[in-house]
Amino acid sequence: MAHQHTSKEFIPHLKELLRDKDGDEEVVDQLQDPAVEKIVDGFMRFKTSIFDQHPDIFNQLAEEQKPKFLVFACSDSRVSPSRVLDFHLGEAFVARNIGNLVPAFNQLRYSDVGAVIEYAVSHLEVENILVMGHSKCGGIDRLMELPGDGSTTFDFVDDWVKIALPAKIKVKAQNPHLSLEKQKAICEREAVNLSLSNLLTYPYVRKGLENKTLALRGGHYDFVEGKFELWEFKAVLTPTIKIPPCNFGSSDKDGDEEVVDQLQDPAVEKIVDGFMRFKTCIFDQHPDIFNELAKEQKPKFLVFACSDSRVSPSHVLDFHLGEAFMARNIGNLVPAFNQLRYSDVGAMIEYAVSHLKVENILVMGHSKCGGIERLMELPGDGSTKFDFVDDWVKIALPAKIKVKAQYPHLSPEKQAAKCEREAVNLSLSNLLTYPYVQKGLENKTLALRGGHYDFVEGKFELWEFKAVLTPTIKIPPSNFRSS
Ligand SMILES: [Zn+2]
Ligand SMILES: [Zn+2]
């Protein structure tokens, strides 16, 4: 459902239970906070109406994930693939960044994107990679507006969106007389095509294409009109499937057999079907909400969640379109401020905090995280098995070291569970290295929250990270008089 929930049905009941049980007033007090209420309420809705209703499905998912899709979507709060394509938990491994961009293979600069692709294709053996662009993309807007003199206004955003510079150049050259608005719309699709060709630079992707075990798909979601376009990138681009067809509702056929043929493909069917469910049950039912969202997004949350197909915050916390700007990477890790290595994470934080003015950053870990597992298993001799994954998960090395030192006698499983939470805390402290975050904390306009979703038990933990400097003690005090 896309409508904004205002119901706080669970909160009064939870307060009672918490008071009765452990009488923890400090926990009860936190439930007054609207952001805490939103998360607690969302999770309780998910738990009671979904998780507890389908023990068979969730037992299966807790064993392993077998997603057929890797999806690259924009962080924009209005484009969650869990909603727009009706992807259910377990169906899609998801990476979200500004502009849904895939840079070319680069171990030094883009280990996060590389880690997602390597893990999804080599380890999970997904059958499809879908790069999904969208209308009115702020990332593409910024790309199209970048001045020609190389000057920048953002620390990270400008550098990150320049990945799609070849798409901009092509669009400007081919359509010099179009309005900037129209050039942007074309560039949203061109940037998807560029990302699709960049995918070819990853050896796992090339191997999958050669073996015909992997398909590369482009998509474009128009949230103004409620339309979706889907195409496939082979060595050539197939004709585009437009959903709904322009003669949708009439009995005319446009007789495009090549498009009709593509609908036989189960992956195409899944996307077309998912979008049509979203369009008819949600988009068309709430024109007021979607008109408002088409004008601008005002999410209150920036959420870092793992790419794992079982942890989509749209489902687990019942975040609706427009409510959360979303970053998804392996292990939900936030590296410290680093313009040279991590411009994508930096771009999401900078854009969400400085431009969108989100009020909360939630870093959400989860049970049985493959990223944390790999971190815990990394050999001490520095040897690596993966091109990207090992390098990326090492961001959380301080958390691993801490857990190993504090809990030397715990089983590897239990150490990993501790580390899932420690890595969240490390990411929360790394957030402090971003000046926008520091400023938000100082002005009390931003809260940093940690979370942990246990998909085995259907439990969620939530805490806040407060970094407070106490008033300075000056010694000796100014009124000190030596006698
Ligand atoms: Zn976007
Ligand atoms: Zn994970």
Asked whether residue 319 carries a pLDDT value surpassing 80, the answer given is yes
Looking at this protein, which amino acid is placed at residue 183?
Q
- At 38-86, the pLDDT tens digits run 999 999 999 999 999 999 999 999 999 999 999 999 999 999 999 999 9
Residue 109 Cα to ligand 1 midpoint, Å, equals 21
CA–CA separation, 54 vs 312, rounded Å?
17
Q: Are 260 and 213 in contact (CB under 8 A)?
A: no
Q: Which ligand is nearest to the CA of 304?
A: 2
Q: Which ligand is nearest to the CA of 372?
A: 2
Would strands 301-306 and 227-233 be described as parallel, antiparallel, or unpaired?
A: unpaired
Residue 141 Cα to ligand 1 midpoint, Å, equals 9
**Residue 134 labelled as part of a binding site:** yes
- At 256-295, the pLDDT tens digits run 777 777 888 899 999 999 999 999 999 999 999 999 999 9
Q: Which ligand is nearest to the CA of 423?
A: 2
CA–CA separation, 97 vs 75, rounded Å?
5
Q: Which ligand is nearest to the CA of 99?
A: 1
Cα 385 to Cα 379, 390, 451: the distances in Å are 10, 7, 30
Residue 4 has what pLDDT?
Answer: 42
Residue 204 has what pLDDT?
Answer: 93
Residue 336 Cα to ligand 2 midpoint, Å, equals 19
Residue 219 Cα to ligand 2 midpoint, Å, equals 25
What is the average pLDDT across 316-331? 96
Residue 6 has what pLDDT?
Answer: 44
Residue 400 Cα to ligand 2 midpoint, Å, equals 15
Residue 312 Cα to ligand 2 midpoint, Å, equals 11
CA–CA separation, 204 vs 199, rounded Å?
9
Give the residue among 259, 323, 319 at the shortest CA–CA distance from 297: 323
Residue 432 has what pLDDT?
Answer: 92
Q: Is 150 left (phi over 0), alpha (psi -120 to 50) or beta?
A: left
Q: Which ligand is nearest to the CA of 138?
A: 1
Q: Are 49 and 318 in contact (CB under 8 A)?
A: no
Q: Are 152 and 158 in contact (CB under 8 A)?
A: yes
Residue 20 Cα to ligand 1 midpoint, Å, equals 46
Fold entry, domain 64-465 = Beta-carbonic Anhydrase; Chain A (3.40.1050)
Residues in the chain: 483
Residue 364 Cα to ligand 2 midpoint, Å, equals 10
- At 22-41, the pLDDT tens digits run 657 777 788 888 999 999 99
Q: Give residue 10's pLDDT band: very low, low, confident or very high (50, 70, 90).
A: confident
Q: What is the ipTM of this complex?
A: 0.91
Structure tokens given for 470: 């106490």
- At 381-421, the pLDDT tens digits run 888 888 899 999 999 999 999 999 999 999 999 999 999 99
Residue 237 has what pLDDT?
Answer: 57
Residue 440 Cα to ligand 2 midpoint, Å, equals 28
Residue 157 Cα to ligand 1 midpoint, Å, equals 12
Residue 48 has what pLDDT?
Answer: 93
Residue 328 Cα to ligand 2 midpoint, Å, equals 10
What is the average pLDDT across 350-375? 97
Give the residue among 447, 448, 394, 446 at the shortest CA–CA distance from 423: 394
Average pLDDT, whole number, for the chain? 90
Q: Which ligand is nearest to the CA of 160?
A: 1
Q: Give residue 240's pLDDT band: very low, low, confident or very high (50, 70, 90).
A: confident
Residue 469 has what pLDDT?
Answer: 65
**Residue 419 labelled as part of a binding site:** no
Strand partners, 324: 301
Residue 369 Cα to ligand 2 midpoint, Å, equals 4
| Position with higher pLDDT, 468 vs 383 | 383
Residue 8 has what pLDDT?
Answer: 58
Asked whether residue 110 carries a pLDDT value surpassing 90, the answer given is yes
Q: Are 124 and 212 in contact (CB under 8 A)?
A: no
Residue 126 Cα to ligand 1 midpoint, Å, equals 24
Residue 39 Cα to ligand 1 midpoint, Å, equals 24
Q: Which ligand is nearest to the CA of 365?
A: 2
Which residues, at least 6 apart from 357, have a Cβ–Cβ distance to it below 8 Å?
A: 445
Q: Which ligand is nearest to the CA of 79?
A: 1
Residue 160 Cα to ligand 2 midpoint, Å, equals 24
Residue 22 has what pLDDT?
Answer: 60
CA–CA separation, 389 vs 369, rounded Å?
13
DSSP for 232-263? Answer: EESSSBPPPEEES-TTTTSS-----HHHHHHT
**Residue 74 labelled as part of a binding site:** yes
Residue 140 Cα to ligand 1 midpoint, Å, equals 7
Residue 316 Cα to ligand 2 midpoint, Å, equals 14
- At 198-232, the pLDDT tens digits run 999 898 998 999 889 999 999 999 999 999 999 99
Asked whether residue 148 carries a pLDDT value surpassing 90, the answer given is no
What is the average pLDDT across 125-134? 97
Q: What percent of the chain has pLDDT over 90?
A: 74
Q: Are 310 and 90 in contact (CB under 8 A)?
A: yes
- At 151-163, the pLDDT tens digits run 888 889 999 999 9
Q: Is 56 left (phi over 0), alpha (psi -120 to 50) or beta?
A: alpha
Asked whether residue 5 carries a pLDDT value surpassing 70, the answer given is no
What is the average pLDDT across 330-355? 94
**Residue 187 labelled as part of a binding site:** no
Q: Give residue 358's pLDDT band: very low, low, confident or very high (50, 70, 90).
A: very high
What is the average pLDDT across 164-188? 95
Residue 97 has what pLDDT?
Answer: 97
Exposure string (b/e) for 197-236, b if CB count within 10 Å is 16 or more?
ebbeebebbeebbeeeebbbbbbbbbbeebbbbbbbbeee
Q: Which ligand is nearest to the CA of 192?
A: 1
CA–CA separation, 283 vs 290, rounded Å?
7
Strand order, beta sheet including 447-454: 241-243, 227-233, 215-222, 128-134, 69-74, 92-97, 324-329, 301-306, 360-366, 447-454, 459-465
